[in-house]
Structures are given as structure tokens and as C-alpha cells.
Amino acid sequence: MPLPPPNGGFKAWMAVTGGFLFVLNSWGMANTFGVFQAYYSVNLLSTSTPSEISWIRSIQTVLLLYVGAVGGRALDAGYYNLLFSIGVFLEVFGMMMTSLSTKYYQIFLTQGVTVGIGSGIIFTCGVSLVGTYFSTKRALAMGVVASGSSVGGIIYPIAVREIINHSGFPWATRAMGFIMLASLLVGFALLRPRSCVLSLRLGLALAFMSYFILFFYVETFALRVGTNEHLSFYILAIMNAAGTLGRIVPNFIADRAGNLNVIVPITYISGLICLLWLTVNKTANLLAISIMYSFFSGGLTNSVPAVVGLLSPDLNKIGSRIGMMLTICSLGTLIGAPIAGEILKSQTPKDSRGVADTSEANYDGIFIFAGVGLLVAAACMHYTRINKTGLFYFGKV
């Protein structure tokens, strides 16, 4: 869980500013439709009735509110960056496509549906996150954020009308899209989630991406340093045996010291051991470092449920949250080994026929990739711990 809301201060009021910009570009933009209604009635959609034209704004507003049901759940699950990316793309893309539209159905789909969905996502992000920065001053903060709808309803109609008069309708909608993009990016920089779960997800995804790499390539690397074929086959079994103990001992300690207090240091150590593989040049060293790596990294794979349980005090939601966390970890697992394979391929010399000479393959790149990935993963999880308890808390967590 994050620290108590700051309830004021520079960072909190900057978040309010970000939320204000989000609302300005969602509800504020919707409040601008009167200008478009007038223009469409006289010019672009003169053959359509006022009721038909108003349906564009109506569907935009309905979607602005309705999307919150889905967007809010995704936001709670920690997908703020993804939601914002989708929202800002749909809003800006919708306005740009509106500038190219000439028929009623085109404007209905671009300005009504596309911009409406994007606005709903942006609005949900803005009003949801700001409240996490305040406790007793929350109503004032939300009032400032909500005022963005009125300010947008002042700025955008004037800007759109003036640009239509000087440069025409297409450039008015494009200019609106550019203004929305710039101001939303500023808002995104100012308004960030306070939840520590996002950093944990990133850390675990990176950890799983890096963790399996050495298991995939240890046998071929063993042959590279001169290990006989029979022993190289059993190195993987030896690593898994060491990993069995590594899955039990850290969890035994975690019950007494705390889950985050265990997973963070073992991830740091695992990353350092990966980098130490750069020094391996004979079988004895390989066996020693393989056992060390497997023992310390073994706790990574089975610590996820315990750590998620620590950060999810609502036991009614723990199953879905563990499932989502494991899904994210699986994506890291999906890309880790193939990336390492491409790195190895790029560092493997070819003979005169253009065939890769695996006996001369350079594995340094994949050790660096895996080691740095684990160190960054540890840093992300360390940030989760700091965000939950503070920098100088030394108790169980």
C-alpha cells in the first residue's frame, strides 16, 4: 500500500493540475460541440436535421460516461499508462479524422464514437487518480479538477470559431487535436498513480524475463567453456536441484522477515551473479556459479502470490490480482529467451559459408542482458517497498 495521501503540497497540486487538463480535454471538449452543431447545420451537414446532428454529441457524451465502467476497473488493476495511451490516441486520432470527414456517418464515427471513447478513458483517469492525493481536502481538489470542463467550454469554442473563420474547418479540428495532444501529455507528466503495485508488476515482469535465460543456455555455454557433453547435460539438473532448496529457504525466512524484505535482496543478488558469469572460463567455476544462481533466484518464481497478498489486503480480490500478475509475468517469460537468442546470434561468428560457428559463440551479451534485467527488476521492487513503508523502515514487510 502507498504512504498516506500528502493532502497538499507541490506534488499533490501538480496532480490536480494534471487532472484539470484531463477534464478540460474530455468534458471541456464535449462542451464545445455547440460550435460544431452550428457549423454542421449550415455547411458540412446541411442536409441533416438538427436532431440527427445532435446525436453525434449525444453518443460522444454517453460513451464519455459509459467507458468509465471498464476504464475504472482497468485503472484499479494498474493499467494507467496503457489506458492513457489508448485514450489520447483515440481522442487525437478522432479529431484528425473528423477534419477529413465529409459525410454524416463519417463524423458520427470519428467525432462521436472514437473521440467519445477516448474522452471517457481520459476523464476516468483524471477524476480517479487525483483523489488518491488528498483526504480532508479532496472535495476542493476535485472541484478544481471538475472546473476543467467549464474552462474547456470557454477556450475551445472561441479557438475553433476563430480558426474556422481564418483557415477553414479542417484546420480548426486539426489544431484542436494538436492542442489536446500537447496539453494531455503535460497532464500525463503531472498526474501519476500513487499505487506501488505498478512498480511491482514491472519488476516481476523484468525478473521473469531475465530469470529463465540462463537455464535455456547453460548447456550450450558449458560446451563452450570445455565441459564434456555428459556433464553439460547434468548441469541443468544440478541447477534445478539447487533451485529446490532455493524455493524453500527464502520462503521460510519470508514468514519471519517479510516477503518484500526477501524478494528484493535475492533479486539483486541474482542479477549480480548473472554478471559474474562473465568471468566463467572453466567447468569448476561454472558449477559453482550455476548452483549459486539457482539457489538465490529460486525464490522469485514462487514469491508472487505472497507478495501480491501483502499488497492486496482485500482477500476477495486476491485471486484475480494474482492471476493478472502472473499474466504480466508470462509476457516477460515470452520475450526473454528469444531476445537473448537474438543477442547470442549477433555475437556468434560465421564461417566462410555463412554458417554460425556455435563453438565460438560469445555469451557475454546474454549474461549482461539477464543481469541488468534482474537488477532493474530488483530496483522496481525496492521502489515498491519504499513506497509502501518509507525509505528508513526496517521492520517486516
Distance CA 34, CA 290 (A): 69
Residue 236 in grid coordinates: 541443468
pTM of the model: 0.59
**Of 168, 151, 150, which Cα lies nearest the Cα of 44?**
168
Weakly modelled stretches of the chain, pLDDT under 70: 1-4, 77, 194-196, 198, 302, 304-306, 308-321, 351-360, 390-394, 397
User: What pLDDT does residue 89 have?
Assistant: 94
CATH of 10-190, one of 1.10.1740.10, 1.10.260.40, 3.40.30.10, 1.20.1250.20: 1.20.1250.20
Residues of the chain with CATH 1.20.1250.20: 10-190, 197-389
Q: Do residues 118 and 87 lie in contact, with contact meaning Cβ atoms separated by under 8 Å? A: yes
CB atoms within 10 A of CB 339: 16
Residue 161 in grid coordinates: 470559431
Q: How many CA atoms lie within 13 A of 224 on its CB side?
A: 20
Q: Which residue has the cell 507541490?
A: 10
Phi/psi at 356 (5° precision): -65, 135
Calculate the CA 384 to chain-centre distance: 15
Distance CA 273, CA 209 (A): 16
Residues 1-54 pLDDT 10s: 445 677 778 888 999 999 999 999 998 888 888 889 888 988 888 888 989 899
**Of 196, 134, 132, 258, which Cα lies nearest the Cα of 387?**
196
Distance CA 328, CA 16 (A): 30
Q: Do residues 199 and 383 lie in contact, with contact meaning Cβ atoms separated by under 8 Å? A: yes
Residue 21 in grid coordinates: 487538463
User: What pLDDT does residue 258 have?
Assistant: 80
Distance CA 249, CA 295 (A): 9
Residues 70-119 pLDDT 10s: 777 777 767 788 888 999 999 999 999 999 988 999 999 999 999 999 99
Distance CA 88, CA 176 (A): 13
CATH architecture of 197-389: Up-down Bundle (1.20)
